[in-house]
């Protein structure tokens, strides 16, 4: 959704509140697509901070459907975070180019693209590891059994490859005796 901020950029002290229902059906951050499970409307607040600049705030509450990174069970991925960003009108020129890009990345002229802003903020707040529970044991590397349901009895000992030559010599020396 595009929201025109012309009045906010040009009127010191101006505050605009807009309630937005997220339009995205899924999130794709480059490491898989996650279907949107639930979402609440976001109340964006745009406040003029300086001529040509505005501060954006809002609270995001949504959850996505995904898989546990260790055991692959389906799990809900809740996200609850605050958006606090600054944006600038097209005429505003930042002193550093990096700042300029950050202030304009979700802008289209004098309008803000809330879906692009939301996608960027979800990417920043996405969990590093998605787990069904904190102590998830994952899958057996030999047979694929879910270790949360119990031990499978497989031999999972993997010798240190740096010690392989020593183990081979030990095996050879015990055969001779």
Domain ranges for the chain, please list them: 2-125, 137-177
**Four-residue CA torsion sign, 96, 102, 108, 110:** negative
What is the phi-psi region of residue 25: left when phi exceeds 0, alpha when psi lies from -120 to 50, beta otherwise?
A: alpha
Between the CA of residue 34 and those of 21, 57, 68, 115, what are the distances in Å? Answer: 18, 25, 12, 16
CA atoms of 175 and 177, how far apart (whole Å) = 6
Q: Determine how β-strand 111-113 pairs with β-strand 107-108.
A: antiparallel
The per-residue pLDDT for range 80-125, each reduced to its tens digit, is 999 999 998 888 754 434 455 666 688 888 899 999 999 999 999 9
The per-residue pLDDT for range 40-87, each reduced to its tens digit, is 999 999 999 988 889 999 999 999 999 999 999 999 999 999 999 999
Cβ neighbours around 148 below 10 Å, total: 16
Tell whether the model's pLDDT for residue 137 goes beyond 80: yes
Q: Higher model confidence: residue 103 or residue 142?
A: 142
User: 83 is written with which tokens?
Assistant: 């958006």
- Residue-level pLDDT at 102: 62
Give mean pLDDT, residues 36-41: 95
| Burial group, residue 45, by CB count within 10 angstroms (0-12, 13-18, 19+) | middle
Residue 112 · residue 3 · CB < 8 Å:
yes
CA atoms of 160 and 126, how far apart (whole Å) = 34
The per-residue pLDDT for range 148-176, each reduced to its tens digit, is 999 988 887 777 788 878 877 877 776 65
Between the CA of residue 27 and those of 63, 96, 118, 159, what are the distances in Å? Answer: 10, 31, 10, 40
Between the CA of residue 137 and those of 38, 90, 134, 155, what are the distances in Å? Answer: 28, 51, 9, 16
- Residue-level pLDDT at 97: 45
Residue 52 · residue 89 · CB < 8 Å:
yes
């Amino acid at each position: 959704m595009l929201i025109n901020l012309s009045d906010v950029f040009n009127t010191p002290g101006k505050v605009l509140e807009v309630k937005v229902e997220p339009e995205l059906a899924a999130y794709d951050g480059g490491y898989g697509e996650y279907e949107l499970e639930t979402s609440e409307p976001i109340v964006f607040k745009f406040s003029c901070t300086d001529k040509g600049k505005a501060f954006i705030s809002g609270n995001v509450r949504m959850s996505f459907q995904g898989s546990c990174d260790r055991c692959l069970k389906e799990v809900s991925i809740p996200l609850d975070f605050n958006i606090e960003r600054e944006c600038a009108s097209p005429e505003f020129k930042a002193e550093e180019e990096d700042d300029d890009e950050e202030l304009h990345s979700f802008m289209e002229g004098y309008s803000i693209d809330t879906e692009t802003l939301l996608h960027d903020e979800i990417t920043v707040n996405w969990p590093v590891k998605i787990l069904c529970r904190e102590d998830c044991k994952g899958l057996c590397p030999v047979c694929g059994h879910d270790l949360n349901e119990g031990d499978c009895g497989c031999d999972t000992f993997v010798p240190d490859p740096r010690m392989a030559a020593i183990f081979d010599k030990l095996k050879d020396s015990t055969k001779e005796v």
